[in-house]
Each structure stands twice: as structure tokens, then as C-alpha cells.
């Protein structure tokens, strides 16, 4: 359930109001850290509709309790609430102060006597006013620290929190124009903060913020300097400052950007400060991400190396397959040619798996496109002068990369076996069908998904006998008339796929080979 569901249930509020609250809660850790206090998002249990309200706007019913929809704790100071407040009800005098702030649309300071049932600290109540009506109330509960003289940094942090609360009260923060970039490496208050005036000059720079710019090559101090001009003089990897970075350094747009120097990198985030329609300055958060980017580069290099290895293995296997093809042409024995042809088909099957792995590096691989080509290749290689059609039903989706080779080899052998023995010198059809069963439990007690692969031919059939093998019995020596291919299939199904194989007569003739394979439970992305 979304925390904005109570809001959505009131007809006077729309989806835009709920989305704005989601933006606020997604970013209000910044506000909690700057204000050194806990944030509660409160909404009344009972609301008087705008049509029935004396103010013409939705207001809480007299005496209504308020429900806490969300809670954030500061990382810059102690929490005011030892328990999670989400789902708690605020009543009595505290609810009356919340209602007063809601109706008046003004930021209010609750007295300790009014808020004592909730917390024993300084409480600021901020009605969130959007389109002329309050949609929720935020409370900031902080320790006023009257027993000591606050530092310059603490004063600037609290002033910045007050500015953001004022903007939230006016409905101008958070800004819908903020980009939804990846949060990896996103700067936080403790990483470093600068406060800029309307012209882009630095009014305040935290020690961590100054350290970040020093690593980028800054000489001297930042206070009083124009940040955009300073950045243009830094030894950056790219000369100058591009047009997307300039608005962030000037604090004019609520965007994120990155400065990459010769020896260091830093992410930046600008939060413009406004008084009504006028921009009065900006907050700029910065974070040294040098080590993070170095690790990212190592991962990219590692991924590229792995892809290149798969690509080279694929090329080598294709070379082996070509050599086997050349050798088979020089063979005078039909049995020798058949053996080399089977070996060539198996090597080609493994090469196709490595080709797929060379295109993407992940824990699983999209198996569908690969197996469609593999089925056609196996049929073409095994059939001599026959017209054999192939049909594929269902989808494998994504399979674990470590199991892809085993599945490809098993399907390759069974399709070839269906053509060579099931159809044997006649035309026909080979069908591959895939079904899934989710959330089963393996013998080891782990959750797994079961994939059932059926390969059916409409050939001469195998009689009424049903043969099923799994576990230890699959490792038996080959029986009379059984080739290397079936021994490979039995071994791979039992060992690598943790499953079983069953041969049975088809419902309308022919033979069906049914493989039951078990894979670790995972999302079925890519399945059609």
C-alpha cells in the first residue's frame, strides 16, 4: 500500500498531489539532515470536503486525529522518536495544532505543552500548500540546543532547512523539474554542502565540500568566489564547463552533474532557493566519488574482458567446428563421417552459447533466440534429403548462464535424435514446447522454478513403453543401441539441470522426450 492512499481517497486531491508528496518524501532526508530533526508527514483521519467547508477548501474535521504517513530521522543528530511513527495516530492538543496549521496555511511553532504527548522537543509545523489548498502537514522535531553556542555550519544548515520548509509551504519545493537520474553516487548533506547567493558566489562552504574541491585541484578558499568561474579554472579531464554543468554550478536548475578532474571526480546537485517567483540563491551538495568511479571503471573493464573472452572462445570453437567439417570430407568411412558430424554439431551448439554471452554480461541469458537457431541447425545437420519442419511453443525467458550450455546441448541431442531415429528417412515435424512451474522446493529445500521441455516428433513412435530416468540411474553405462548422444543427455539432465528425462509415446503418434529441469528462483524477465 502506498503511503499516499489516504490522500487519494479524498476527492478534493488528485494524482498530482500524491506524486508531489512522493517527490517530497523521496528527497526529505536532505531536510531532516539540515534541520537536525525528525520529520513526520501527517494527514487527518477525517476531512471536510471543499464543497461543505466554510473556507471552500478541504479541512480536517474538528477533533479529528492525524495519521503519520511517513517518518525520516536525521543522520546529523539524535532522533526524537525511538520507535517508527508510521501508522501512529496524533490526537489531543497536538492534533489541534496540526489542524490550525492546516487551516491557516502558515508555518507554526508548536509549544511543548501542545506537543508533549508526541515529543519533548522544539516542533515546527509546516502545512504543504499546493494550488491554494493544504494537502498534508510536515512536522520537524529538533533539539534547539540552547545550552551551547551553535557553530557557523549548524546555523547555515538550520537556515537552509528553514528555507526549504518555507518553499515546501509555498509548494515550490520539491520541484517537478528535478531530473530522475540514477542515485548511485548522489551527494548527501554530510558529504559536503555549499550555499550560493543569487549571482552564484559561494556564501558558505562546509569543510567536506572544500575538501572535495581541493581534490579536484582547487588552490585556496571558495568563500566569496563565483563557483562557475572557479570550476572553469580547475584541471578537468574535459576542457571548460559544458552547458549542462553550468546551470548546476550556478545553482539555477535543480539538476545533478559530475566534475571529472585529472585525479578526482565529484558529483554535484543544485537546489535553487526561491522567495515566491524570485530566485534568492541555491544549495549545492557535492560528493567525492573518485573511488566509486574507479571501481565502476574496473567493473566496465572486467565486463569488457569477459565479453572478449566469450567472443574468443566462440571463435575458437567455430574454428574447431570448421576443422571437423574439413576432416569429415576426407573420411571414407560413413561411421567416421557421422561421428565427426555429431561432434561438429555439439561444438557449434556450445559456440552459440558463448556468442550470446559475449553480447551481455549478467547472471542469466536470454535463451529464446539462441535456441530457435539451435533447433534449426540441429535439424539441418541431422537430416539428409528429408523435409523436416520445426515448431517452437512457449518461451524459456532468461536462464542462468552457467546452465545455458547444458540446456543447449540437451536440446541439440534430442532434436537430432528425433530426426535421425524418430523420423528416419521420412518427412515430418519436430516440435519444441516449454512450460514453467514456479515456487517449487528442491530436494535441498531451496525455492526453484521448474522448466519442462518437451521435444516431440511425429515419426514411427516407440510403442507403449514409458522410460524415465533421473538421479543415480542416469549415470549408468550406455545400453545396447544407445549412442554417445543419449549418454550425454542423461548425464547433463541429472547433474547440471537437477532434473529427469522421460520418453513416452505422443498423444497422436510419434515420440515425446520430456526434460524436467530445475533452476534457482528468479524473475521471469524476457519471457513472452
Tens of each residue's pLDDT in the chain, 528 residues: 688 899 888 889 988 999 999 999 999 999 999 999 999 999 999 999 988 888 889 999 999 999 999 999 999 988 988 899 999 999 999 999 999 999 999 999 887 777 776 666 789 999 999 989 999 999 999 876 656 788 899 999 999 999 999 999 999 999 877 765 555 568 999 999 999 999 999 999 999 999 999 999 999 899 999 999 999 888 887 655 567 789 999 999 998 888 888 788 899 999 999 998 899 999 999 999 888 777 766 666 666 666 667 667 777 777 777 777 777 777 777 777 777 777 777 777 777 777 766 666 666 777 787 788 778 777 776 666 678 888 888 888 888 877 887 888 888 888 888 887 878 778 888 889 999 876 676 666 667 888 899 988 888 777 777 777 766 566 666 666 667 777 778 888 888 888 888 888 887 778 888 988 888 765 444 444
Sign of the alpha-carbon torsion through 12, 16, 17, 18: positive
Check whether residue 273 and residue 302 sit in a common domain. Answer: no
Q: Does residue 372 fall inside a structural domain?
A: no
Q: Does residue 369 fall inside a structural domain?
A: no
Check whether residue 283 and residue 388 sit in a common domain. Answer: no
Check whether residue 10 and residue 83 sit in a common domain. Answer: yes
C-alpha cell at 456: 516431440
- Per-position DSSP letters for 304-334, written without gaps between them: HHHHHHHHHHHHHHHHHHHHHHHHHHT---H
Bridge partner list, 194: 205, 284
Q: Does residue 182 fall inside a structural domain?
A: no
Check whether residue 356 and residue 403 sit in a common domain. Answer: no
CATH number assigned to the domain comprising residue 49: 3.30.450.280
Q: Does residue 179 fall inside a structural domain?
A: no
- Three-state DSSP at 42 gives strand
Check whether residue 220 and residue 263 sit in a common domain. Answer: yes
Check whether residue 307 and residue 415 sit in a common domain. Answer: no
Q: Does residue 181 fall inside a structural domain?
A: no
Check whether residue 282 and residue 305 sit in a common domain. Answer: no
**Which residue among 170, 201, 223 closes a domain?**
170
Separation CA 23–CA 21 (nearest Å): 5
CATH number assigned to the domain comprising residue 202: 3.30.450.20
Check whether residue 357 and residue 459 sit in a common domain. Answer: no
Check whether residue 195 and residue 164 sit in a common domain. Answer: no
Q: Does residue 378 fall inside a structural domain?
A: no
DSSP state of 479: P
Check whether residue 10 and residue 159 sit in a common domain. Answer: yes
Domain count of the chain?
Answer: 4
Separation CA 205–CA 198 (nearest Å): 16
DSSP state of 9: T
Q: Does residue 451 fall inside a structural domain?
A: yes
Check whether residue 42 and residue 163 sit in a common domain. Answer: yes
**Which residue among 259, 288, 317 closes a domain?**
288
- State the residue range of the domain holding 310: 293-361
C-alpha cell at 124: 515546527
- Output the CA torsion 348→354→359→363 (10° steps): 140
Check whether residue 9 and residue 156 sit in a common domain. Answer: yes
CATH number assigned to the domain comprising residue 426: 3.30.565.10
**Which residue among 224, 258, 288 closes a domain?**
288
Q: Does residue 213 fall inside a structural domain?
A: yes
Amino acid at each position: 500500500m502506498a503511503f499516499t492512499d489516504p490522500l487519494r481517497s479524498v476527492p478534493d486531491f488528485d494524482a498530482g498531489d500524491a506524486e508531489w508528496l512522493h517527490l517530497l518524501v523521496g528527497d526529505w532526508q536532505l531536510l531532516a539532515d539540515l534541520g537536525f530533526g525528525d520529520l513526520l508527514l501527517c494527514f487527518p483521519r477525517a476531512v471536510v470536503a471543499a464543497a461543505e467547508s466554510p473556507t471552500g477548501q478541504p479541512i480536517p474535521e474538528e477533533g479529528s486525529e492525524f495519521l503519520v504517513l511517513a517518518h525520516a530521522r536525521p543522520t546529523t543528530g539524535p532522533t526524537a522518536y525511538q520507535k517508527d511513527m508510521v501508522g501512529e495516530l496524533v490526537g489531543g492538543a497536538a492534533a489541534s495544532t496540526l489542524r490550525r496549521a492546516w487551516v491557516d496555511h502558515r508555518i507554526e511553532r508548536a509549544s511543548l505543552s501542545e506537543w508533549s504527548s508526541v515529543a519533548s522537543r522544539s516542533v515546527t509545523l509546516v502545512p504543504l500548500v499546493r494550488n491554494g489548498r493544504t494537502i498534508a502537514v510536515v512536522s520537524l522535531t529538533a533539539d534547539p540546543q540552547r545550552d551551547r553556542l551553535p557553530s557557523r555550519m549548524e546555523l547555515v544548515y538550520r537556515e537552509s532547512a528553514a528555507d526549504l520548509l518555507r518553499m515546501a509551504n509555498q509548494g515550490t519545493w520539491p520541484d517537478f523539474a528535478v531530473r530522475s537520474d540514477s542515485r548511485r553516487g548522489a551527494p548527501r548533506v554530510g558529504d559536503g554542502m555549499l550555499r550560493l547567493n543569487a549571482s552564484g558566489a559561494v556564501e558558505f562552504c562546509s569543510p567536506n565540500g572544500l575538501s572535495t574541491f581541493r581534490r579536484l585541484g582547487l588552490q585556496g578558499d571558495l568563500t566569496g568566489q563565483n563557483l562557475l568561474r572557479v570550476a572553469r579554472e580547475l584541471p578537468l579531464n574535459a576542457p571548460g564547463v559544458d552547458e549542462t554543468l553550468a546551470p548546476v554550478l550556478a545553482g539555477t536548475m535543480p539538476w545533478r552533474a559530475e566534475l571529472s578532474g585529472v585525479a578526482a571526480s565529484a558529483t554535484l546537485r543544485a537546489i535553487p532557493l526561491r522567495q515566491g517567483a524570485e530566485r534568492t540563491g541555491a544549495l549545492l551538495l557535492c560528493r567525492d566519488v573518485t573511488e566509486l568511479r574507479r571501481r565502476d571503471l574496473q567493473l566496465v573493464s572486467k565486463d569488457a574482458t569477459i565479453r572478449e573472452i566469450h567472443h574468443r572462445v566462440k571463435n575458437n570453437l567455430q574454428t574447431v567446428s570448421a576443422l571437423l567439417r574439413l576432416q569429415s570430407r576426407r573420411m571414407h568411412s560413413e561411421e567416421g563421417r557421422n561421428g565427426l558430424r555429431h561432434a561438429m554439431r555439439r561444438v557449434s551448439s556450445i559456440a552459440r552459447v558463448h556468442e550470446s554471452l559475449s553480447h551481455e554480461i549478467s547472471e542469466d541469458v536470454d535463451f529464446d533466440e539462441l535456441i530457435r537457431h539451435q533447433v534449426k541447425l540441429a535439424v539441418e545437420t541431422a537430416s539428409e534429403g528429408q523435409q523436416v519442419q520445426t515448431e517452437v511453443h512457449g518461451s524459456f525467458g532468461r536462464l542462468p548462464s552457467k546452465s545455458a550450455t547444458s540446456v543447449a546441448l540437451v536440446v541439440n541431442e534430442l532434436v537430432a535424435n528425433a530426426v535421425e531415429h524418430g523420423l528416419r528417412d521420412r518427412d515430418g515435424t519436430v516440435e519444441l514446447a516449454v512450460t514453467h512451474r514456479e515456487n517449487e522446493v528442491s530436494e535441498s529445500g531451496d525455492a526453484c522454478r521448474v522448466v519442462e521441455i518437451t521435444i516431440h516428433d511425429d515419426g514411427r513412435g516407440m510403442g507403449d513403453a514409458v522410460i524415465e530416468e533421473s538421479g543415480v540411474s542416469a549415470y549408468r553405462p550406455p545400453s545396447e543401441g544407445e549412442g554417445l548422444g543419449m549418454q550425454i543427455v542423461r548425464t547433463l539432465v541429472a547433474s547440471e539441470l537437477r532434473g529427469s528425462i522421460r520418453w513416452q509415446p505422443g498423444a497422436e503418434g510419434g515420440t515425446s522426450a520430456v526434460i524436467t529441469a530445475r533452476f534457482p528462483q528468479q524473475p521471469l524477465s524476457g519471457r513472452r
